[in-house]
Structure 1
Amino acid sequence: MALDGEIGTVPWTIKGELILNCNCTVFCPCVVSLGKHPPTEGHCQTWGGVRIDSGGYGDLDLSGLNIGLMIEIPGMMGRGNWKVALFIDDRSTEDQYEALVNIFSGAAKGTTGLFQILVGEILGHERQPVSYETEGKTRHITVGRKIQGVVTPVQGKDADKDLVITNTEYWMGPDITVASAQKGKLRAYGRVWDFDGRSAEICQIDWHGPR
């Protein structure tokens, strides 16, 4: 059954958590430079995971689903030409799958609408079993045989408090927890990445659209 409403006009929301692990050797410069500074390696290769705690697309409930992401950026984030692959939770219905592709491709507009401008190519979108587990402060992400990730916040002077960059204008959310990956492996779409020990981010997300 097709979703009701023209794409880009349907109200949608996603609240939950997102993690990213990239090839930067230290914390990602894009967070504070908003894409005006190049990644530490000159280009960006990153995988991500999204846990949807609550959300919807029109009247369709998206709560409890997970998403995997692969993003490749040839230079500075703001210059575009991104290549993206989406891995949609295999527990999703056909309508949920379609809604999540609309949102994460940017077609649904709103918070993720900038993907319509920055993404030059969507390499593909497919169903995968996506697991997003939290053990203490450590996040464990598995996307089929495509992604294996273990991400932990970087310890600050007070071990009980996360090291957080707050009040940013970063598109994902204003408060970004500085983290690193104990495991960051991706095998997908001809890419073989191993970002163990590299930069990672954890962000509480509150996204919406179409505005």
Structure 2
Amino acid sequence: MALDTMEIGTVPWTLKGELILNCNCTVFCPCVVSLGKHPPTEGHCQTWGGVRIDSGTYGETDLSGLNVGLMIEIPGMMGRGNWKVALFIDDRSSETQYDALVNIFSGAARGTTGLFQVLVGEILGHERQPVTYETEGNTRHITVGRKIQGVVHPVGGQDPDKEIVISNTQYWMGPDITVATATKGKLRAYGRVWDFDGRSAEICQIDWHGPK
């Protein structure tokens, strides 16, 4: 059966790379350790994120080298759902790549991101944007058109050569989460105007796959 005729949710896919998130929590996000059972520090969650895909496939479609921007809004505890999500897909993507990334990041492709189908109540939209994801030293710079401007870096520890890492977690993104903060965290999209400069951030190496 040709991949383009296979039912969504049955196509094998993989993504490897890095993800950063910056949210409105005043200190490190409680969701990482509590797995969504503890409320965010502000009682609700507003998050923007960026994904750098170092290597990836969706069926026979190569996704390597593309980037994705995210906007996530959660009214209370993460595990209770009713999320609102917007996707910003790299404008360098082909139609096939675009559709593949929407399937993955909406949860329709199942696998690692399949929980989105349970937790997301509304996809506010998905659109093409120029998405840049650059690393300078240990600082990550992300720009999503005029929608998102972010600069994220690890929080300093006693040993300046080592990052503070929450390791061996069961967090959906990955087991090892670097504790970070944003020196710039601005979003203007879908009626939201956020400024999370100085607030919580996370850096995670991702190794996602589906549909199982």
TM-score normalised by length of structure 2: 0.98
Aligned residues: 210
Matches within 5 A, 1:43-82: 43-82=44-83
One-letter code of the match for 1:168? T
Q: Contact 1:3–1:95 at 8 Å: present in 2 too?
A: no
Q: Distance in 2 between matches of 1:133 and 1:154?
A: 18
Deviation at 1:4, TM superposition (A): 3.9
The residue aligned with 1:24 is 25
Give the distance between the partners of 2:189 and 2:43, measured in 1 at CA: 22
Residue 111 in structure 1 maps to residue 112 in structure 2 = yes
Distance in 2 between residues matched to 1:32 and 1:12, nearest whole Å: 27
Shift of the alpha carbon at 1:3?
2.7
Unaligned 5+ segments in structure 1 are none
Give 1:131-210 correspondences, 5 Å limit.
Answer: 131-210=132-211
- Corresponding residue SS for 1:162: coil
Residue type of the partner of 1:177?
T
Structure 2 Cα separation of the partners of residues 104 and 190 of structure 1: 21
Kept after mapping to 2: 8 A contact 1:187/1:193: yes
Work out whether residues 186 and 194 of structure 1, in 8 Å CA contact, stay in contact via their aligned partners in 2: yes
Distance 1:167 1:197 in 2: 26
Moved over 6 A (4+): none
| Structure 2 Cα separation of the partners of residues 51 and 5 of structure 1 | 27
For 2:4 and 2:187, the matched residues in 1 are separated by: 32
SS in 2 for 1:152: strand
- Paired residue for 1:127? 128
Correspondence for 1:99: 100
Shift of 1:5: 1.5
Q: Percent identity?
A: 87
Matched-pair contact (CA < 8 Å) for 1:86–1:126: yes
Question: What does residue 41 of structure 1 align with?
Answer: 42
1: CA distance between counterparts of 2:206 and 2:31? 17
